[in-house]
Amino acid sequence: MTSQLWPAPTAKAPVQGTVNVPGSKSITNRALVLSAISEEPSAISNLLISRDSQLMVAALQALGTEIEFTNATSAQVVPHPLRGPAKINCGLAGTLMRFLPPLAATANGDIEFDGDEGARRRPMAVTIESLRALGVAVTDNSRGSLPFTVHADAHVPGGVIHLDASASSQFVSGLLLSAPRFGSGVTVVHQGASVPSLPHIDMTVQMLRAAGAEVKSDTADPTHAQWSVAPGAINLGDYNVEPDLSNAAAFLAAAVVSGGTVTIPHWPQHTTQPGDRIRAVFTAMGAMCVIDDEGLTVTGPTTITGIDIDLREIGELTPTIAAVAVFANGPSALRGVAHLRGHETDRLAALVTEINRLGGSARELPDGLAIDPAHLSAANVATYHDHRMATFGAIVGLRVPGTRVENIATTAKTMPTFPTMWDQLVTGGSNP
Protein backbone atom coordinates (compact mmCIF):
# COMPACT_ATOMS: atom_id res chain seq x y z
CA MET A 1 0.00 0.00 0.00
CA THR A 2 1.37 3.40 -0.93
CA SER A 3 2.06 6.27 1.47
CA GLN A 4 -0.74 8.33 -0.11
CA LEU A 5 -3.20 7.82 2.71
CA TRP A 6 -6.25 10.02 3.26
CA PRO A 7 -7.58 10.24 6.82
CA ALA A 8 -11.28 9.50 6.41
CA PRO A 9 -13.31 11.94 8.57
CA THR A 10 -15.27 10.36 11.40
CA ALA A 11 -18.84 11.47 12.10
CA LYS A 12 -18.88 12.85 15.64
CA ALA A 13 -22.67 13.25 15.35
CA PRO A 14 -25.35 12.13 12.87
CA VAL A 15 -24.48 13.53 9.47
CA GLN A 16 -26.87 16.27 8.38
CA GLY A 17 -26.71 18.11 5.09
CA THR A 18 -27.50 18.71 1.44
CA VAL A 19 -25.23 17.55 -1.40
CA ASN A 20 -25.44 18.68 -5.00
CA VAL A 21 -23.87 15.87 -7.01
CA PRO A 22 -22.51 16.41 -10.53
CA GLY A 23 -24.00 14.98 -13.71
CA SER A 24 -24.28 11.27 -14.45
CA LYS A 25 -21.18 9.67 -15.95
CA SER A 26 -23.28 7.08 -17.78
CA ILE A 27 -25.56 9.69 -19.34
CA THR A 28 -22.69 12.10 -20.06
CA ASN A 29 -20.71 9.59 -22.10
CA ARG A 30 -23.78 8.36 -23.99
CA ALA A 31 -24.78 11.93 -24.79
CA LEU A 32 -21.30 12.72 -26.09
CA VAL A 33 -21.34 9.71 -28.43
CA LEU A 34 -24.82 10.50 -29.72
CA SER A 35 -23.90 14.14 -30.29
CA ALA A 36 -20.90 13.00 -32.36
CA ILE A 37 -23.14 11.08 -34.79
CA SER A 38 -25.96 13.65 -34.89
CA GLU A 39 -26.78 15.55 -38.07
CA GLU A 40 -26.85 18.92 -36.32
CA PRO A 41 -24.86 20.51 -33.47
CA SER A 42 -25.89 19.67 -29.91
CA ALA A 43 -25.77 21.65 -26.68
CA ILE A 44 -25.18 19.47 -23.60
CA SER A 45 -25.52 20.91 -20.09
CA ASN A 46 -24.64 19.59 -16.62
CA LEU A 47 -21.92 17.39 -18.08
CA LEU A 48 -19.87 15.43 -15.61
CA ILE A 49 -16.30 16.71 -15.66
CA SER A 50 -14.16 13.79 -14.50
CA ARG A 51 -11.32 11.67 -15.80
CA ASP A 52 -13.71 9.28 -17.60
CA SER A 53 -15.66 12.04 -19.34
CA GLN A 54 -12.55 14.05 -20.18
CA LEU A 55 -11.05 10.97 -21.83
CA MET A 56 -14.27 10.57 -23.83
CA VAL A 57 -14.12 14.21 -24.96
CA ALA A 58 -10.46 13.81 -25.97
CA ALA A 59 -11.24 10.61 -27.88
CA LEU A 60 -14.09 12.18 -29.86
CA GLN A 61 -11.96 15.23 -30.62
CA ALA A 62 -9.19 12.93 -31.86
CA LEU A 63 -11.72 11.44 -34.28
CA GLY A 64 -12.68 14.87 -35.62
CA THR A 65 -15.66 15.91 -33.48
CA GLU A 66 -15.64 19.58 -32.47
CA ILE A 67 -16.37 20.03 -28.75
CA GLU A 68 -16.23 23.49 -27.20
CA PHE A 69 -17.06 24.13 -23.54
CA THR A 70 -19.24 27.19 -23.05
CA ASN A 71 -18.91 27.05 -19.25
CA ALA A 72 -17.59 24.60 -16.66
CA THR A 73 -20.24 21.95 -17.31
CA SER A 74 -21.79 22.81 -20.69
CA ALA A 75 -20.52 22.14 -24.19
CA GLN A 76 -21.43 22.76 -27.80
CA VAL A 77 -20.77 19.70 -29.97
CA VAL A 78 -20.43 20.03 -33.73
CA PRO A 79 -20.28 16.68 -35.54
CA HIS A 80 -17.94 16.14 -38.49
CA PRO A 81 -17.13 13.04 -40.55
CA LEU A 82 -15.04 10.84 -38.29
CA ARG A 83 -11.47 10.23 -39.34
CA GLY A 84 -8.23 8.57 -38.39
CA PRO A 85 -5.53 7.79 -37.80
CA ALA A 86 -5.90 8.36 -34.08
CA LYS A 87 -4.70 7.05 -30.73
CA ILE A 88 -7.36 6.69 -28.04
CA ASN A 89 -6.46 6.60 -24.34
CA CYS A 90 -9.20 4.74 -22.47
CA GLY A 91 -7.70 5.20 -19.01
CA LEU A 92 -9.81 2.90 -16.82
CA ALA A 93 -13.11 3.92 -18.43
CA GLY A 94 -15.25 0.91 -19.30
CA THR A 95 -17.74 3.09 -21.18
CA LEU A 96 -14.98 4.50 -23.37
CA MET A 97 -13.33 1.18 -24.19
CA ARG A 98 -16.71 -0.43 -25.05
CA PHE A 99 -18.52 2.56 -26.65
CA LEU A 100 -15.79 4.02 -28.89
CA PRO A 101 -14.54 1.03 -30.94
CA PRO A 102 -17.88 0.58 -32.81
CA LEU A 103 -17.96 4.34 -33.43
CA ALA A 104 -14.33 4.34 -34.55
CA ALA A 105 -15.22 1.64 -37.08
CA THR A 106 -17.32 4.23 -38.95
CA ALA A 107 -14.27 6.52 -39.30
CA ASN A 108 -11.51 6.21 -41.88
CA GLY A 109 -8.03 5.07 -40.87
CA ASP A 110 -6.36 3.10 -38.11
CA ILE A 111 -7.69 3.85 -34.63
CA GLU A 112 -5.47 2.56 -31.81
CA PHE A 113 -6.99 1.85 -28.38
CA ASP A 114 -5.05 1.46 -25.14
CA GLY A 115 -5.45 2.40 -21.50
CA ASP A 116 -4.12 2.06 -17.97
CA GLU A 117 -2.58 -1.22 -16.87
CA GLY A 118 -5.81 -2.15 -15.09
CA ALA A 119 -7.79 -1.54 -18.28
CA ARG A 120 -5.66 -4.08 -20.11
CA ARG A 121 -7.03 -6.75 -17.78
CA ARG A 122 -10.67 -5.97 -18.55
CA PRO A 123 -12.45 -8.27 -21.01
CA MET A 124 -12.83 -6.85 -24.53
CA ALA A 125 -13.15 -10.00 -26.64
CA VAL A 126 -16.91 -9.53 -27.07
CA THR A 127 -16.46 -6.05 -28.57
CA ILE A 128 -13.55 -7.14 -30.76
CA GLU A 129 -15.30 -10.25 -32.09
CA SER A 130 -18.56 -8.34 -32.64
CA LEU A 131 -16.73 -5.80 -34.81
CA ARG A 132 -15.12 -8.60 -36.82
CA ALA A 133 -18.52 -10.20 -37.30
CA LEU A 134 -19.70 -6.86 -38.70
CA GLY A 135 -16.88 -6.93 -41.23
CA VAL A 136 -14.48 -4.61 -39.39
CA ALA A 137 -10.79 -5.53 -39.26
CA VAL A 138 -9.32 -5.47 -35.73
CA THR A 139 -5.77 -6.34 -34.70
CA ASP A 140 -5.34 -7.45 -31.09
CA ASN A 141 -2.66 -10.18 -31.35
CA SER A 142 -5.21 -12.65 -29.94
CA ARG A 143 -5.32 -10.86 -26.57
CA GLY A 144 -9.05 -10.15 -26.44
CA SER A 145 -8.19 -6.99 -24.52
CA LEU A 146 -6.43 -3.65 -24.81
CA PRO A 147 -4.34 -2.64 -26.68
CA PHE A 148 -5.91 -3.21 -30.10
CA THR A 149 -6.34 -1.36 -33.39
CA VAL A 150 -9.53 -0.84 -35.39
CA HIS A 151 -8.77 -0.63 -39.12
CA ALA A 152 -11.68 1.56 -40.26
CA ASP A 153 -12.76 2.27 -43.83
CA ALA A 154 -15.71 4.59 -43.08
CA HIS A 155 -18.29 1.85 -43.69
CA VAL A 156 -19.79 -0.73 -41.33
CA PRO A 157 -22.38 -2.90 -43.10
CA GLY A 158 -24.22 -3.77 -39.89
CA GLY A 159 -26.44 -6.80 -39.45
CA VAL A 160 -27.21 -9.38 -36.79
CA ILE A 161 -24.73 -10.02 -33.98
CA HIS A 162 -24.97 -12.96 -31.57
CA LEU A 163 -22.95 -12.42 -28.41
CA ASP A 164 -22.67 -13.23 -24.73
CA ALA A 165 -22.98 -9.98 -22.75
CA SER A 166 -23.17 -11.65 -19.33
CA ALA A 167 -19.85 -10.01 -18.38
CA SER A 168 -21.02 -6.44 -19.09
CA SER A 169 -24.05 -4.62 -20.47
CA GLN A 170 -21.61 -2.13 -22.02
CA PHE A 171 -20.91 -4.56 -24.87
CA VAL A 172 -24.52 -4.16 -25.98
CA SER A 173 -24.76 -0.40 -25.43
CA GLY A 174 -21.56 0.18 -27.39
CA LEU A 175 -22.98 -1.48 -30.50
CA LEU A 176 -26.41 0.14 -30.19
CA LEU A 177 -25.10 3.70 -29.79
CA SER A 178 -23.27 3.71 -33.13
CA ALA A 179 -25.78 1.56 -35.02
CA PRO A 180 -27.61 4.49 -36.68
CA ARG A 181 -24.38 4.98 -38.67
CA PHE A 182 -24.17 1.31 -39.77
CA GLY A 183 -25.34 0.50 -43.29
CA SER A 184 -28.22 -1.71 -42.16
CA GLY A 185 -28.23 -0.82 -38.46
CA VAL A 186 -27.75 -3.67 -36.03
CA THR A 187 -29.63 -6.41 -34.23
CA VAL A 188 -27.89 -7.62 -31.09
CA VAL A 189 -28.94 -11.02 -29.80
CA HIS A 190 -27.66 -12.00 -26.36
CA GLN A 191 -27.17 -15.68 -25.63
CA GLY A 192 -25.86 -16.63 -22.21
CA ALA A 193 -26.48 -15.97 -18.55
CA SER A 194 -28.68 -13.01 -17.69
CA VAL A 195 -27.23 -9.67 -18.80
CA PRO A 196 -26.12 -7.64 -15.76
CA SER A 197 -27.14 -3.99 -15.38
CA LEU A 198 -30.03 -4.17 -17.85
CA PRO A 199 -31.16 -0.68 -16.74
CA HIS A 200 -28.01 0.70 -18.37
CA ILE A 201 -29.13 -0.76 -21.70
CA ASP A 202 -32.60 0.70 -21.08
CA MET A 203 -30.84 4.06 -20.64
CA THR A 204 -29.10 3.61 -24.00
CA VAL A 205 -32.39 2.69 -25.70
CA GLN A 206 -34.23 5.67 -24.21
CA MET A 207 -31.52 8.13 -25.22
CA LEU A 208 -31.37 6.73 -28.76
CA ARG A 209 -35.13 7.08 -29.11
CA ALA A 210 -35.04 10.62 -27.71
CA ALA A 211 -32.51 11.47 -30.43
CA GLY A 212 -34.83 10.09 -33.12
CA ALA A 213 -33.50 6.57 -33.61
CA GLU A 214 -35.81 3.65 -34.31
CA VAL A 215 -35.13 1.06 -31.61
CA LYS A 216 -36.78 -2.25 -30.73
CA SER A 217 -36.10 -4.04 -27.47
CA ASP A 218 -37.15 -7.45 -26.15
CA THR A 219 -35.78 -8.30 -22.71
CA ALA A 220 -38.59 -10.54 -21.46
CA ASP A 221 -36.05 -13.37 -21.24
CA PRO A 222 -32.77 -11.81 -20.02
CA THR A 223 -30.85 -14.90 -21.18
CA HIS A 224 -32.05 -14.41 -24.78
CA ALA A 225 -32.64 -10.66 -24.93
CA GLN A 226 -32.32 -8.76 -28.18
CA TRP A 227 -32.24 -5.19 -29.41
CA SER A 228 -32.46 -3.65 -32.89
CA VAL A 229 -31.50 -0.18 -34.09
CA ALA A 230 -32.40 0.94 -37.61
CA PRO A 231 -30.00 3.06 -39.67
CA GLY A 232 -30.87 6.72 -40.09
CA ALA A 233 -30.25 10.31 -39.11
CA ILE A 234 -30.44 11.30 -35.44
CA ASN A 235 -30.18 14.56 -33.52
CA LEU A 236 -29.46 14.77 -29.81
CA GLY A 237 -30.27 18.51 -29.75
CA ASP A 238 -30.28 20.37 -26.43
CA TYR A 239 -29.69 17.88 -23.63
CA ASN A 240 -29.49 18.27 -19.84
CA VAL A 241 -27.67 15.51 -17.97
CA GLU A 242 -29.31 14.22 -14.77
CA PRO A 243 -27.37 14.14 -11.48
CA ASP A 244 -25.30 10.96 -11.03
CA LEU A 245 -27.43 8.81 -8.76
CA SER A 246 -24.73 6.16 -8.30
CA ASN A 247 -22.29 8.77 -7.04
CA ALA A 248 -25.06 10.20 -4.86
CA ALA A 249 -25.47 6.82 -3.14
CA ALA A 250 -22.26 7.25 -1.15
CA PHE A 251 -23.50 10.52 0.38
CA LEU A 252 -26.86 8.94 1.19
CA ALA A 253 -24.97 6.07 2.83
CA ALA A 254 -23.45 8.64 5.18
CA ALA A 255 -26.94 9.30 6.52
CA VAL A 256 -27.68 5.57 6.89
CA VAL A 257 -24.52 4.60 8.80
CA SER A 258 -24.54 7.68 11.05
CA GLY A 259 -28.28 7.85 11.73
CA GLY A 260 -28.39 11.28 10.10
CA THR A 261 -30.28 12.93 7.26
CA VAL A 262 -28.92 13.79 3.80
CA THR A 263 -30.77 15.40 0.88
CA ILE A 264 -29.77 15.17 -2.79
CA PRO A 265 -31.49 17.99 -4.73
CA HIS A 266 -32.93 17.51 -8.21
CA TRP A 267 -33.39 13.74 -7.80
CA PRO A 268 -35.43 12.80 -10.92
CA GLN A 269 -38.97 11.55 -10.41
CA HIS A 270 -38.52 9.22 -13.39
CA THR A 271 -35.15 7.92 -14.60
CA THR A 272 -33.40 4.98 -16.25
CA GLN A 273 -30.38 5.37 -13.96
CA PRO A 274 -29.89 2.17 -11.95
CA GLY A 275 -28.72 4.27 -9.02
CA ASP A 276 -32.33 5.22 -8.31
CA ARG A 277 -32.81 1.74 -6.84
CA ILE A 278 -30.65 2.63 -3.86
CA ARG A 279 -33.86 3.98 -2.32
CA ALA A 280 -35.36 0.50 -2.11
CA VAL A 281 -32.11 -1.01 -0.79
CA PHE A 282 -31.68 1.52 1.99
CA THR A 283 -35.37 1.27 2.90
CA ALA A 284 -34.94 -2.50 3.29
CA MET A 285 -31.97 -1.81 5.57
CA GLY A 286 -34.14 0.35 7.84
CA ALA A 287 -33.67 3.87 6.46
CA MET A 288 -36.47 6.26 5.56
CA CYS A 289 -36.37 7.59 1.98
CA VAL A 290 -38.60 10.46 0.84
CA ILE A 291 -38.60 11.90 -2.67
CA ASP A 292 -40.38 15.19 -3.31
CA ASP A 293 -39.89 18.50 -5.09
CA GLU A 294 -36.81 19.19 -2.96
CA GLY A 295 -35.10 16.01 -4.11
CA LEU A 296 -34.40 12.75 -2.25
CA THR A 297 -33.96 12.81 1.52
CA VAL A 298 -32.64 9.75 3.36
CA THR A 299 -32.74 9.43 7.14
CA GLY A 300 -30.74 6.68 8.75
CA PRO A 301 -32.18 4.16 11.23
CA THR A 302 -31.25 3.53 14.84
CA THR A 303 -30.25 0.00 13.86
CA ILE A 304 -29.22 -1.11 10.36
CA THR A 305 -30.83 -4.31 9.14
CA GLY A 306 -28.86 -6.94 7.25
CA ILE A 307 -30.05 -7.68 3.73
CA ASP A 308 -30.12 -10.64 1.32
CA ILE A 309 -30.46 -9.14 -2.14
CA ASP A 310 -29.80 -9.70 -5.83
CA LEU A 311 -27.81 -6.73 -7.14
CA ARG A 312 -27.44 -7.94 -10.73
CA GLU A 313 -29.05 -4.80 -12.15
CA ILE A 314 -27.27 -2.40 -9.80
CA GLY A 315 -23.89 -4.06 -9.42
CA GLU A 316 -22.01 -0.75 -9.36
CA LEU A 317 -23.68 0.01 -6.01
CA THR A 318 -22.25 -3.11 -4.37
CA PRO A 319 -19.26 -1.39 -2.64
CA THR A 320 -21.57 1.29 -1.23
CA ILE A 321 -24.10 -1.25 0.03
CA ALA A 322 -21.30 -3.40 1.47
CA ALA A 323 -19.98 -0.37 3.38
CA VAL A 324 -23.39 -0.05 5.05
CA ALA A 325 -23.86 -3.80 5.56
CA VAL A 326 -20.72 -4.10 7.70
CA PHE A 327 -22.59 -2.11 10.39
CA ALA A 328 -25.81 -4.16 10.22
CA ASN A 329 -27.16 -6.12 13.18
CA GLY A 330 -27.40 -9.30 11.13
CA PRO A 331 -25.79 -11.05 8.16
CA SER A 332 -26.03 -9.77 4.60
CA ALA A 333 -25.67 -11.54 1.25
CA LEU A 334 -25.09 -9.44 -1.87
CA ARG A 335 -25.79 -11.70 -4.85
CA GLY A 336 -25.94 -11.63 -8.65
CA VAL A 337 -22.70 -9.68 -9.09
CA ALA A 338 -20.14 -12.21 -10.31
CA HIS A 339 -19.43 -9.78 -13.18
CA LEU A 340 -17.78 -7.41 -10.67
CA ARG A 341 -14.71 -9.62 -10.86
CA GLY A 342 -14.05 -7.99 -14.26
CA HIS A 343 -14.39 -4.33 -13.26
CA GLU A 344 -11.58 -1.84 -12.52
CA THR A 345 -10.38 -4.52 -10.12
CA ASP A 346 -11.90 -7.78 -8.90
CA ARG A 347 -14.32 -5.90 -6.67
CA LEU A 348 -15.57 -8.98 -4.84
CA ALA A 349 -12.08 -10.06 -3.82
CA ALA A 350 -11.19 -6.46 -2.98
CA LEU A 351 -14.24 -5.97 -0.75
CA VAL A 352 -13.66 -9.22 1.12
CA THR A 353 -9.99 -8.38 1.65
CA GLU A 354 -10.65 -4.86 2.92
CA ILE A 355 -13.61 -5.78 5.14
CA ASN A 356 -11.53 -8.50 6.79
CA ARG A 357 -8.54 -6.13 7.06
CA LEU A 358 -10.81 -3.84 9.11
CA GLY A 359 -11.64 -6.73 11.45
CA GLY A 360 -14.92 -7.55 9.72
CA SER A 361 -16.19 -10.91 8.56
CA ALA A 362 -16.71 -11.32 4.81
CA ARG A 363 -16.34 -14.12 2.31
CA GLU A 364 -16.89 -14.55 -1.38
CA LEU A 365 -19.94 -16.34 -2.76
CA PRO A 366 -20.02 -17.80 -6.29
CA ASP A 367 -21.90 -14.68 -7.45
CA GLY A 368 -21.32 -12.15 -4.69
CA LEU A 369 -20.25 -11.83 -1.09
CA ALA A 370 -21.52 -12.57 2.41
CA ILE A 371 -20.98 -10.22 5.35
CA ASP A 372 -21.49 -11.14 9.01
CA PRO A 373 -21.66 -8.72 11.95
CA ALA A 374 -18.27 -8.00 13.52
CA HIS A 375 -16.53 -5.21 15.40
CA LEU A 376 -14.43 -3.09 13.06
CA SER A 377 -11.19 -1.34 13.99
CA ALA A 378 -9.00 1.18 12.21
CA ALA A 379 -6.95 0.08 9.20
CA ASN A 380 -5.55 1.42 5.97
CA VAL A 381 -8.03 0.64 3.19
CA ALA A 382 -6.56 -0.23 -0.19
CA THR A 383 -8.44 1.04 -3.25
CA TYR A 384 -6.86 -0.91 -6.15
CA HIS A 385 -7.14 2.20 -8.37
CA ASP A 386 -10.93 1.76 -8.09
CA HIS A 387 -13.08 4.80 -7.28
CA ARG A 388 -15.86 2.69 -5.72
CA MET A 389 -13.40 1.11 -3.30
CA ALA A 390 -12.26 4.59 -2.31
CA THR A 391 -15.79 5.69 -1.44
CA PHE A 392 -16.29 2.36 0.39
CA GLY A 393 -13.40 3.33 2.66
CA ALA A 394 -14.79 6.82 3.22
CA ILE A 395 -18.17 5.44 4.32
CA VAL A 396 -16.60 2.95 6.72
CA GLY A 397 -14.43 5.72 8.16
CA LEU A 398 -17.52 7.56 9.37
CA ARG A 399 -17.87 5.01 12.18
CA VAL A 400 -14.34 3.65 12.49
CA PRO A 401 -11.99 6.36 13.77
CA GLY A 402 -8.48 6.18 12.36
CA THR A 403 -9.47 4.68 9.02
CA ARG A 404 -7.21 5.88 6.23
CA VAL A 405 -7.90 5.42 2.52
CA GLU A 406 -5.18 4.79 -0.01
CA ASN A 407 -5.11 7.11 -3.05
CA ILE A 408 -8.42 8.91 -2.54
CA ALA A 409 -7.57 10.75 -5.79
CA THR A 410 -8.83 7.70 -7.69
CA THR A 411 -12.33 9.16 -7.13
CA ALA A 412 -11.44 11.64 -9.90
CA LYS A 413 -12.53 8.90 -12.30
CA THR A 414 -16.13 9.99 -11.77
CA MET A 415 -16.08 12.73 -9.10
CA PRO A 416 -12.91 14.84 -8.86
CA THR A 417 -14.16 16.92 -5.95
CA PHE A 418 -15.24 13.95 -3.80
CA PRO A 419 -12.75 14.46 -0.92
CA THR A 420 -13.78 18.09 -0.48
CA MET A 421 -17.49 17.32 -0.85
CA TRP A 422 -17.23 14.50 1.69
CA ASP A 423 -15.36 16.58 4.22
CA GLN A 424 -17.86 19.42 3.86
CA LEU A 425 -20.78 17.08 4.43
CA VAL A 426 -19.29 15.33 7.45
CA THR A 427 -17.92 18.46 9.12
CA GLY A 428 -20.03 21.26 7.72
CA GLY A 429 -23.34 19.73 6.69
CA SER A 430 -23.65 20.87 3.10
CA ASN A 431 -22.10 21.07 -0.32
CA PRO A 432 -22.77 24.00 -2.67
Strand order across the 5-7 sheet: 5-7, 404-406, 380-381
Distance (Å, whole) CA 398 – CA 328: 14
State the catalytic residue, choosing from 112, 214, 242, 316: 316
Tell me if 256 sits within 8 A of 324, measured CB to CB.
yes
**DSSP H helical segments within 168-277, as ranges?**
170-178, 198-210, 245-258
User: Helix and strand tally (H, E) in the chain?
Assistant: 12, 24
- Length, in residues, of the chain: 432
Distance (Å, whole) CA 165 – CA 223: 9
Cβ neighbours of residue 58 closer than 8 Å, sequence gap 6 or more: 89
**What stretch of H or E contains 217?**
strand 215-218
Q: Which of 169, 100, 205, 216 is nearest to 314 (CA)?
A: 169
φ/ψ of residue 19, rounded to 5? -130, 120
In order, the DSSP letters of 52-112 are HHHHHHHHHHHTT-EEEEEETTEEEEE-------EEEE-TT-HHHHHHHHHHHTTSEEEEE
Q: Is 316 tagged catalytic?
A: yes
Task: Give the residue numbers annotated as catalytic, written as ranges.
Answer: 316
